[in-house]
Chains A and B, each alone.
Chain A
Amino acid sequence: MNGTETILRAGARNLGAALFLLGSGAAGAAEYRLSVDPVTIDTGEFVRSGIGYNGASPGPVLKFREGEDVTIVVTNNLTESTSIHWHGLILPFQQDGVPGISYDGIGPGETFTYRFPIVQAGTYWFHSHTGFQEPDGAYGAIVIEPKNREPFRFKRDYVVQLTDAHPHSGDRIMRNLKMSADYYNRKQRTVFDFFSDVSKKGLGATVDDRMAWGDMRMMSTDIEDLQGFTPLINGKSAQQNWTGLFTPGERVRLRFINSSAMAYYDIRIPGLQMTVVQADGNNVQPVKVDELRIAVAETYDVLVQPKEDRAYTIFAESMGRTAYARGTLAPREGMSAPVPELREDPRLTMADMGMSHGGHGGMDHSKMGQGSSGAMTHKMADGSTMEGMDHSTMGHGSSGAMTHKMADGTTMQGMDHSTMGHGSSGAMTHEMADGSTMQGMDHGGHGAMAMKGADPFYAPGSGLTPVAAEGGKFLSYADLKAQKPLYEHRAPTREIELQLTGNMERYIWSINGVKFEDAEPIRLTYGERVRFKFVNTTMMTHPMHLHGMWSILDVGAGKWNPVKHVVSVAPGTTVYMETEVDALGQWAFHCHLSYHAGSGMFRKVVVEEGPEHSKALSGAKVRG
């Protein structure tokens, strides 16, 4: 397990160990060996058997160089079949490591040799794509050193790989969820919560709220399907306290990787601002934040510069606030800093149920400009706060009816309706059932709205919208701008709508209402630029991951849209991403929550040769 603590090389002055580099690094070819082994996972809170690489979970940090050809010899020492998927790497599809799509997998006792060129740089990871081996411990990190100098400097370089280790095996978790979807939800609303709500909001509002959720047979606390896990950083629990060393004043690069099966984390380092320089392996225009949310399977590289001679806590709360990971940055071993309390757990609102957006099926922020029937409703069934929402892009709705219903003591602050411009019949209703306050509203004579500051990647009024713990800036997808576009910006050739669907009670997850096992593959043609429209009709947040090709997330920045491999889609929202279809073969496309993927939210994508094959290839790609 110590392998992952290794300081990676950061320039020539600070040499850490370059791990597992068995072959020569010269002449652009390197050979690596990985064994897939049964291991014991000891979180300090529980001990269980699991699966690891080279005898440990997490596995080693694989260090590649951009431009080299790698050979990775994988030996399966398990009694069952396995596989390794190189998450985020662009490679020939036969090397992608998804059983049944890329290849047959690696049988027990067998050895499989992966060979592919490294055509990118940045932070990635690898994991088993077989059954629930990844939640059982089969994951590790990948760091690819770039060919050219990076546009930022640092002295220390650490992988900070998060996971949500669970005492139950993946198979057992899946079975329990299937038999009883709320098996692991220990955050359900109790009788005492009811009375506490009554005293806060009054009987009527509380009963209305409970009835609304009860009517749907859904739970406002259903943010983490899977609770009872122990968050780990590089294999260490909060009490085991993974520590990265620094000398005061040094710039430290932290490569956050969320290798969890199910848990999103909100990460902060009290006392330090983080400068986000990379997302999903691709450089972004630096953005300073106080806190960030990392979806399952995403990576974020941040720079921090601790100046004082003291310890700093890396604090990662799960999105549902059921547990936290904690590590330490310290000038010396054995130091620690105060560990914050978990914040109060969030609750979903009716906005997260997708009830807010009449004809839109979610917050369609990129298209609202032209929306001719932009009916928007903000209903908040419970004590949610609506702060600083920015609808400034809503522009020209010709019948932009907006309704804000708040069932109870909700505060609405800082709303500015002056910029909504041209609504020709902009009917707005603000219904508040009881003593709510609305401050600073400016309707600017137009019935127009712009609520500034809120994250457009959450449904307006969402209970999940993140807020920085100690004030300050919380990273939004909207802040991510590519440092250097990977592709020439062009209009998409086609749009494909993917509704993210599910039956919570039966724990069936699907796309467009169809489970993987019943679905036809998505067929793409080489040379297309496909615009994927994700419409999240469920109450869960889904980190969608397309293998083999980049996901250009539409944040409204045109050619500067960030290039990712995971796109998280919050409940009640619509999110777009575009993909330059530049990799032939068969690929997986799925929600990266293990038990969602495992129960049907998964597709095979087939990229076939088209007539415009070569033309598109030469025209579209800017960077090699």
Chain B
Amino acid sequence: MAKTHGRVEVFPRIVRALLLCLAAFSFPATAQEKSPLFYSVTLERLEYRFGDESDVGAWDGDAIIGRDEWKLRLQSEGEYERESSSFETLENQLLVQIPVSDFFDAKAGVRFDTPEGPDRVYGVLGLQGLAPQWFELDADLFLSERGDVSARLDVDYELLLTNRLILTPSLEADFAFSEDRPIGVGSGLGKVEVGARLSYDLVDRSISPYVGVHFEQLFGPTKRLARDDGEPTDQLFFVAGVRVRF
């Protein structure tokens, strides 16, 4: 009885504390108050990929809310294949991010993969930031519910042809430390995606249409698994899309 009573008391207190926190965040600083919450919603890629065998609709974006000291990030990536009417990739991450240096944030959270086929839940640890010479880096370590460890490196570079016409080469590499056969992941370097997208900032930096190329190549055991399943092991796409930022 006493226990229940205690819980009843504690819970509203937490809620009240949270509400108070939110209230404090949502009013702009007058003096000595904490700065307000900032937010952004970005779809770095919202694109259609024209391929030899099949077309793919894809997105990659995030929603961020936070302050200088921390950020909460919802990150989402999806690849929908038209041919099979199924999600090749459907990946959502919920991350907490804190600065660890002038230019880098550490992040931790969970990743939910719910594509066609078996689902997976991962714990995520990562580093994200701006490296010298303007390389945008995102390095993640994943630990799946099955105990498999994998890693991903994502590198982007913005080459300014003009201040609005921007060529962005990108590289993404997936590496697995162990095999997860049901989802087609072999041990070692499994997949590399390279791309180059030429965008134009149409409205501020809010709406930037682009065209480009996107190439995916599988390697090693992962490649063999895909071949055995009759799936393509390398694919070249021409892409057209738009970057959207609110």
A interface vs B, CB < 8 Å?
81, 98-101, 105, 130-132, 171, 174-176, 178-180, 183, 186-192, 211, 214-217, 228, 503, 505-506, 508, 515-517, 588, 598-600, 602, 604
Contact = CB atoms under 8 A, between A and B. Distances in A.
A621 to B, nearest CB: 29
A216 B32 CA distance: 31
B38 interface: yes
Interface string B153-178: 00000011111100000000000000
A492 B202 CA distance: 55
B133 A189 contact: no
A191 B161 contact: yes
A196 to B, nearest CB: 13
A183 B40 CA distance: 13
Nearest to B105: A506
Contact of B160 (A175, A189, A216): A189
B145 interface: no
A178 B32 contact: no
B64 A214 contact: no
Interface in B23-61: 28-35, 38-40
Of B30, B31, B130, most buried by chain A (CB within 10 Å of CB) is B31
Q: In this complex, which of B39, B40, B68 has the most chain A Cβ atoms within 10 angstroms of its Cβ? A: B68
B132 interface: yes
B103 A505 contact: yes
B49 to A, nearest CB: 26
Interface string B74-113: 0000000000000000000000000100110000000000
Contacts of A98: 31
Given A100-B31, A191-B159, A192-B162, A515 B40 contact: no
B16 interface: no
B78 to A, nearest CB: 23
Contact of B103 (A105, A176, A217, A515): A217
A328 B16 CA distance: 59
B205 interface: yes
B161 A190 contact: yes
B205 A604 contact: no
Chain B, interface size category, equals: 20 to 34
A180 B130 contact: no
B32 A186 contact: no
B70 interface: no
B31 to A, nearest CB: 3
Interface in B201-216: 204-205
Contact of B31 (A99, A174, A186, A600): A99
A77 to B, nearest CB: 19
Residue among A179, A215, A508, A516 with max Cβ neighbours from chain B (10 Å): A179
B31 A217 contact: no
A179 B39 CA distance: 8
A175 B39 contact: yes
B31 A588 contact: yes
Contacts of B32: 100, 516-517, 604
Contacts of A217: 103, 130, 132, 134
Contacts of A176: 205
A100 B132 contact: no
Given A100-B32, A175-B39, A517-B32, A215 B133 contact: yes
A99 B30 contact: yes
8 contacts: A131-B29, A190-B161, A191-B159, A214-B134, A508-B68, A515-B35, A599-B68, A604-B32
A99 B40 CA distance: 28
Nearest to A507: B68
A179 B40 contact: yes
Contacts of B205: 176, 180, 183
A527 to B, nearest CB: 26
B30 A175 contact: no
Contacts of A190: 160-163
Given A100-B32, A191-B161, 9 more contacts: A99-B30, A175-B40, A188-B160, A191-B160, A192-B161, A216-B132, A517-B33, A588-B31, A604-B31
Interface string B214-242: 00000000000000000000000000000
Query: Which among A132, A171, A180, A190 has the greatest number of chain B C-beta atoms within 10 A?
Result: A190
A178 B163 CA distance: 20
B163 A101 contact: no
Given A175-B38, A508-B68, A503 B30 contact: no
Contacts of A132: 28
Given A186-B164, A191-B160, A599 B35 contact: yes
A179 B133 contact: no
Nearest to A104: B30
A179 B132 contact: no
A101 B31 contact: yes
B164 A130 contact: no
Nearest to A219: B134
A238 to B, nearest CB: 22
Contacts of B163: 186-188, 190
Nearest to B129: A505
Contacts of A105: 30
Contacts of A99: 30-31
